[in-house]
């Protein structure tokens, strides 16, 4: 049996401490309130469940959720228990099979992290599959393995109004579910590493904002974020939630049922379902709108690339989490790390483009392994 414990911060001024686990399949942490703290606790969330709690001296609150999460407070000590047994079917559906955790590999990763003083971490879609978001390339469970659908191309989106209509109709249907996904223990672990000064910089290829939801701040979203929308003409930026409400107003009687879930907030709809959908334009100039993400076939902003190269050159080690590194926009930073002779570790289920460059390769679930690592 494996006992997993991890630490992550939640409220400024408070401290998370490790707590021994009496069971072999769960992990938990205890939150100690700063003396006299009576302000509202940050919004807590897990697997789409949210609640706000206010600290009250001597209060006791207990909630048991069907997902298997128990949340209890008593006299200012907060305990969260996450059990893998409570994982939803949608989560298991998108995570490829992996071997059991190897204790020796765990020790090797712990040694790698302990020796790192300025660690750069780069994450990919594999860290978010445990939050219920499918990826493209995972064997048997990725989009490419499950369907013959392919992601939208940047050039098609820019030049074709019908393509934009199709995209926004599908995204409108998929947005409520996509935006409700919550960080999993891997996201929380990396946020905790940052709080302890272990993580020099975090670069994510994901557009799901889960690192931001987990509290990461030393963060570059390499491919942008689905929670923002840009005008292709004037560059005006708006919230995706604001756009969702505008779409509802434009399409009061339109409705469609998704025929399947894809990565990046997309769903599958038929041409007939899309035909009557009305697409909003920029409120400032009337131009076409696009999510603030890098579509396939587009390029990352050169200033952002230079910025990440600088962070890699400042680092003394690099950890890849949940990425096959097939896309050059992320792979190029591995090449920079190799040129700088940085030690490279890779945590990903299945082979990657850089396995031969890594001093350590682990085929495990990100959310199972990262919480085991002590960032001190």
Cα(253)–Cα(326) distance, integer angstroms: 42
- Tell me if 341 sits within 8 A of 357, measured CB to CB: no
Distance CA 218, CA 57 (A): 34
CA 180, 132, 107, 347 torsion-angle sign: negative
For residue 362, the tally of other CB atoms under 10 A from its CB is: 24
Nearest to 291 by CA among 181, 170, 204: 170
Contacts 24+ apart (CB under 8 A), 8-13: 8/188, 8/189, 8/191, 8/192, 8/195, 8/214, 8/215, 9/191, 9/192, 9/195, 9/215, 10/41, 10/42, 10/44, 10/78, 10/215, 11/37, 11/41, 11/42, 13/37
H/E segment holding residue 303: helix 302-314
Q: Extract the tokens encoding 139.
A: 């064997």
Distance of CA 343 to CAs 338, 361, 362, Å? 8, 12, 14
The active-site residue, picked from 181, 200, 211, 223, is: 223
Q: Which of 110, 103, 183, 18 is nearest to 374 (CA)?
A: 110
Report whether 137 contacts 351 (CB < 8 A).
no
Q: Is 223 a catalytic residue?
A: yes
H or E stretch covering 224: strand 224-231
Q: Which of helix, strand or coil describes residue 83? A: strand
Residues marked as catalytic: 223
């Amino acid at each position: 049996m494996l006992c997993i414990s991890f630490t992550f911060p939640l409220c400024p001024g408070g401290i998370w401490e490790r707590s021994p686990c009496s069971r072999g399949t769960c992990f938990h942490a205890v939150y100690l309130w700063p003396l006299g703290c009576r302000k509202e606790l940050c919004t807590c969330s897990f697997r789409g469940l949210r609640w706000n709690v206010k600290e009250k001296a001597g209060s006791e609150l207990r909630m048991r959720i069907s997902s298997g999460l128990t949340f209890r407070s008593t006299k200012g000590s907060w305990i969260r228990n996450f059990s893998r047994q409570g994982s939803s079917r949608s989560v298991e559906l998108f995570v490829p099979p992996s071997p059991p955790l190897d204790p020796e590999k765990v020790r090797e990763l712990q040694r790698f992290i302990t020796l790192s003083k300025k660690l750069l971490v780069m994450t990919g879609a594999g860290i978010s599959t445990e939050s219920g978001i499918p990826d493209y390339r995972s064997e048997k469970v990725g989009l490419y393995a499950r369907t013959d659908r392919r992601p939208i191309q940047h050039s098609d989106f820019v030049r074709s109004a019908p393509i934009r209509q199709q995209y926004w109709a599908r995204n409108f249907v998929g947005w409520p579910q996509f935006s409700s996904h919550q960080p999993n223990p891997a996201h929380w672990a990396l946020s905790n590493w940052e709080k302890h000064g272990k993580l020099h910089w975090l670069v994510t290829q994901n557009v799901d904002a889960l690192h931001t939801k987990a509290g990461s701040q030393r963060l570059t979203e390499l491919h942008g974020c689905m929670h923002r929308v840009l005008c292709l003409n004037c560059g005006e930026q708006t919230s995706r939630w604001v756009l969702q409400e505008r779409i509802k107003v434009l399409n009061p009687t339109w409705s469609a049922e998704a025929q399947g879930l894809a990565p990046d907030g997309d769903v599958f709809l038929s041409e007939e379902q899309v035909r009557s959908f009305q697409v909003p334009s920029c409120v400032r100039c009337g131009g076409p709108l696009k999510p603030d993400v890098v579509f396939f076939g587009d390029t990352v902003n050169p200033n952002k690339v230079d910025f990440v190269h600088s962070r890699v050159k400042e680092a003394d080690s690099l950890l890849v989490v949940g990425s096959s590194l097939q896309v050059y926009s992320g792979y190029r930073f591995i090449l920079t790390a190799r040129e700088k002779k940085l030690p490279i570790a890779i945590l990903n289920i299945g082979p990657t483009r850089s396995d031969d460059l890594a001093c350590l390769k682990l085929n495990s679930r990100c959310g199972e392994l990262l919480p085991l690592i002590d960032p001190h």
